[in-house]
Amino acid sequence: MQRNSFVKMTKLPDVKGRIYYISSHARQENLYAVYETTERKFWSELAKCNQEEFAKSGTDGKCIEARELIIALPEELVEYDPNALLKLFTEHFKQNYGTECIAALHHNKRKTNYHIHLILSERKLLDEAIEKVATRNMFYDEAGKHVRTKKEILDENGQIREGCKVVLKGQVYERKQFTIKDSRFKREDFLDEVKRSYTDLINLYVKDENDHLKVFERGGVYLPMKKIGKNNPKAELIKADNEVRTRWNMTVDNALVNGVSEKQVMAVKRTQISEKAKESFKQNGRNPALFSRVIELAITTLELFIRNVIDKVKHKETPMPQEPVKIPEVKPAVEKHVPERPKMSKLASEYEKLAHLHWELKGQTALVNSKKDSIEELKRELTNTKGLFKGKERKAIQERIELYKEDLVSLEKGIPAIVKKHQFKSVKEFMAKLSASEKAYKEYRVALQEYEKETGSKPELQQKKESITGKLERIKQENKRREIQRQRPRKKSWDRDER
C-alpha cells in the first residue's frame, strides 16, 4: 500500500518555551534524542531580536520568533540508532537551508506515531555584530520610538517619564546580531519542497520499495484526504468529506482510463471545485457540508465528459499495435552498405503489456459505468412507482439501489487497485507511461518500415502465438460475462439470511 509523507509547519511565538517542551524528559513520555546545531543561548538572543524588530514595526498580533516542522517517520526507522537518525535529519535541513536548528525525536503515548520536532531559525547569526553609536544624545518614548527632543519625554514636572530612556552621545544605541528573516520560509511552495526532500531521504532507509512514501501532488487532478486526529470533534464531518473526495478521485481514474484528457479534468477541477470553493468560503466560511456539495457537482460534470467520450467511441474497436516482429540478421555483400536495423527500446517493448493493462482498466470502467446506468434506471423507476398500494414495490426498488451502490463502490476501488498491483502509484502515472510507451512504439514501427523499404528485406515473424487482438477479445468477453452475472436479480432483504 502506497503511503503519503506527512510534514507540518507551525509558527512559534514563544520559541524558548517550545524548546523546553519538546526537549524535556519531564514533559515527554517517549523522548529518544535531542540534537542542536548551535548553543542554547542562540535561541534566547534570537527571541530578543525578533521581539525588538516586531516592536519597531508596530504590527498587531503575535511576534513569530521561529518556525517548527513536525516530520512523521515510518515505524521501520525505529530500528536505527535514534541519536544518529536525528542528527542526520537535522543536519540535512541545515545543509539545505543554512540555518540553525534544534530537534527532538519522539513517540506518542501509544507508540504509533514516530516523529521529529524540528525548530528552525528564520534569521542567521552575523559573523560580526553591527553596532551603531550615538553621535548626539538620543531620546526614546515608552514605546521605544525615537523622538527628536528631550522635551517630548518629560512629564509635567520636567522629569523623564517612566518607560522612556536617553542614550548619551558615544553610547551604542543599536546592536544587530542577526540578518533579516529569510523569505524562503514564507513561500507557498516551501513546505512541498521540504516534503519532497525528506521523503527522498526517508525512502533511502525503507527496505521494501512497496512501502516507500510519496508526496501528494498539489495542484494535480486528485484531491488530498484530510487526517482525522484523536478525539477530533469534527471527526464525522471530516470522514464524510473524505468519502466525497474519494469519489472524485475514483471518477478521475475512470475519466483518464476512458480518454478524457488530464487538461480537461484539471479544467473541471479548477472551475467546479477550486473557484467555487473559494467563493463559498468568502460567503459562508469553512463549511465541510457545502464543500461536499461543490465536489458532488464537479463529479456530475466530469461524468458527463466520460459519457461523451464513451459515446463517441461506441461500437468502434480501438486500434492496437501489431505483433512485434523479429528480423533475422542480414549478411550484406561486402561491397554494399546496409543500414543498421532499428532496435526496439525498452519503453517501446513495454507497450504490449501496458496496452493489455489498459484494456483491463477499460473493462473495469465499463462495469462501473454500466452499474451507474443501472442505478439511474432504478431511480427513474422508483420515481415513476407511485400510488398508495405500491409501498412494498418502492421498498424493493430502493433496496436494489442500495445493493447496486455497494457494488459500485467495490468496482470503483478496483480501478486504482489494478494499476497498483502492477507497481504504479496512480492511474495518472500509468496513463502517462502508456502514452510515452505508445509514442516510442510508433516511432520504432516507422523506423522499421523505412528499414524494410530501403533494404527490400522481409523480416520473419516471431513464432506463431496468440495475437494481441485475440487476447483482448478474451478480456472483453470475460468482462461481459462478469457484467451479466452482476446484473442478475439480487435477493431481497428478507432473503439475505439464506445467502
Query: Over the stretch 132-163, which tens digit does the pLDDT of each residue have?
Result: 888 899 998 887 788 989 999 999 888 999 98
CB 37 within 8 A of CB 94: yes
Same domain? 282 vs 352: no
Same domain? 164 vs 51: no
Same domain? 85 vs 198: yes
CB 97 within 8 A of CB 191: no
Q: Burial, 332: exposed, middle or buried (Cβ in 10 Å; 0-12, 13-18, 19+)?
A: exposed
Task: Let me know if residue 461 belongs to a domain.
Answer: yes
Domain count, the chain: 4
Answer yes or no: pTM beyond 0.85: no
- Write down the pLDDT at residue 127: 83
Same domain? 191 vs 262: no
Same domain? 115 vs 202: yes
Same domain? 402 vs 300: no
Same domain? 266 vs 293: yes
CB 218 within 8 A of CB 266: no
Same domain? 109 vs 209: yes
φ/ψ of 178, rounded to 5, equals -125, 155
Same domain? 474 vs 494: yes
For 255-298, how does the pLDDT look when each residue is reduced to its tens digit (9 = 90+)?
898 888 888 888 888 888 888 888 877 777 777 677 888 888 88
β-pairing, 213-214 with 3-4? parallel
Q: How far apart are CA 343 and CA 447, in angstroms?
A: 9
For the chain, list residues with pLDDT below 70: 1-5, 209-219, 227-231, 288, 314-338, 457-476, 479-480, 482-499
Same domain? 198 vs 269: no
- Write down the pLDDT at residue 209: 66
- Write down the pLDDT at residue 204: 85
Task: Let me know if residue 113 belongs to a domain.
Answer: yes
Q: How far apart are CA 480 and CA 474, in angstroms?
A: 10
Same domain? 279 vs 414: no
